[in-house]
């Protein structure tokens, strides 16, 4: 019963972590379009009545603003402002740093020091996971995500003998987890290939 309760609880939490950001994004997009509608209304009235010009133009306006903001944060001053917002505002939101780090890794723009895909040994099983921190004593802090979302799971501190590195992109490991394990075969094969080439005296 406890196992079932934990599985259901983790699944619900995982679903919320996926749906809530999407829901918030949709709400913000709708609100931004409502605000932009008043700006584009004079131009929309010049277009044919059969065309939902007000909605289309307000959406294009929001996308244009997002594009401009994206360009600005690529500049040195814009990057500094974004980092300040990360530290003072967004960084205080629970789970923001984790989601931001994982999103950057999936996009291929993350720090090489974080979120390393691995296969870990838990009891008699091999489990896809991520190394999120190296401890001073040689052990690893390992995040084992739940299925089908990589945004919820459990944290383990494990010795190096139970942590096997896999040389695959973070996006590939995330995809295997989100697809209920489909694709794990390639992770295991990669792990075996790396272990086969590892020196016998290596830990």
Query: What DSSP string describes 86-128?
Result: HHHTGGGSTTHHHHHHHHHHHTT-S-TTS-EEEEEEETTEEEE
Note the pLDDT of residue 78: 76
CATH number at residue 140: 2.30.30.140
| Within a domain: 110 | no
The rounded distance, in Å, linking the Cα atoms of 96 and 20 is 13
Do 81 and 120 belong to one domain?
no
Domain count, the chain: 2
15-42 per-residue burial string, b: 16 or more CB within 10 A, e: under 16: eebbeeeeeeeeeeeeebbeebbeebee
Do 136 and 81 belong to one domain?
no
Residue ranges making up the domain that contains 66: 2-93
| Within a domain: 30 | yes
| Within a domain: 157 | yes
Note the pLDDT of residue 73: 74
Query: Taking Cα atoms as reference points, which of 146, 86, 142, 87 lies closest to residue 118?
Result: 142
The rounded distance, in Å, linking the Cα atoms of 40 and 63 is 14
Do 78 and 148 belong to one domain?
no
The rounded distance, in Å, linking the Cα atoms of 99 and 40 is 35
| Within a domain: 101 | no
| Within a domain: 175 | yes
Residue 166 sits at the vertex; the CA angle it makes with 144 and 137, to the nearest 5 degrees, is 65
One digit per residue, pLDDT tens: the chain, 203 residues?
A: 655 565 565 566 556 556 666 666 777 777 887 887 878 888 877 777 777 878 888 888 888 888 888 788 778 887 777 777 666 666 555 555 656 655 555 555 555 456 789 999 998 899 999 998 899 999 999 999 888 777 778 899 999 999 998 988 887 888 888 888 888 998 998 888 887 776 654 44
Do 182 and 123 belong to one domain?
yes
Compute how many other C-beta atoms are within 10 angstroms of the C-beta atom of residue 196.
7
């Amino acid at each position: 019963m406890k196992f079932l309760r934990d599985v259901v609880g983790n699944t619900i939490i995982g679903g919320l972590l996926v749906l809530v950001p999407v829901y918030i994004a949709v709400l913000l997009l709708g609100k931004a379009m409502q605000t932009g509608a008043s700006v584009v209304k004079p131009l929309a009235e010049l277009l044919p009545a059969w065309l939902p010009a007000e909605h289309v133009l307000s959406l294009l306006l929001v996308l244009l603003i997002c594009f401009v903001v994206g360009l600005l944060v690529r500049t040195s001053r814009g990057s500094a402002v974004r980092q300040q917002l990360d530290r003072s505002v967004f960084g205080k939101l629970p789970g923001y740093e984790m989601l931001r780090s994982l999103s950057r890794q999936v996009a291929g723009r993350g720090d090489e020091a974080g979120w390393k895909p691995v296969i870990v040994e838990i009891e008699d099983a091999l489990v896809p996971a991520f190394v999120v921190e190296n401890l001073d004593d040689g052990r690893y802090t390992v995040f084992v995500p739940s299925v089908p979302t990589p945004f919820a799971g459990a944290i383990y501190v494990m010795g190096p003998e139970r942590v096997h590195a896999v040389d695959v992109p973070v996006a590939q490991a995330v995809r295997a987890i989100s697809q209920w394990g489909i694709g794990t075969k390639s992770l295991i094969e990669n792990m075996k290939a790396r272990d086969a080439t590892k020196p016998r005296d290596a830990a």
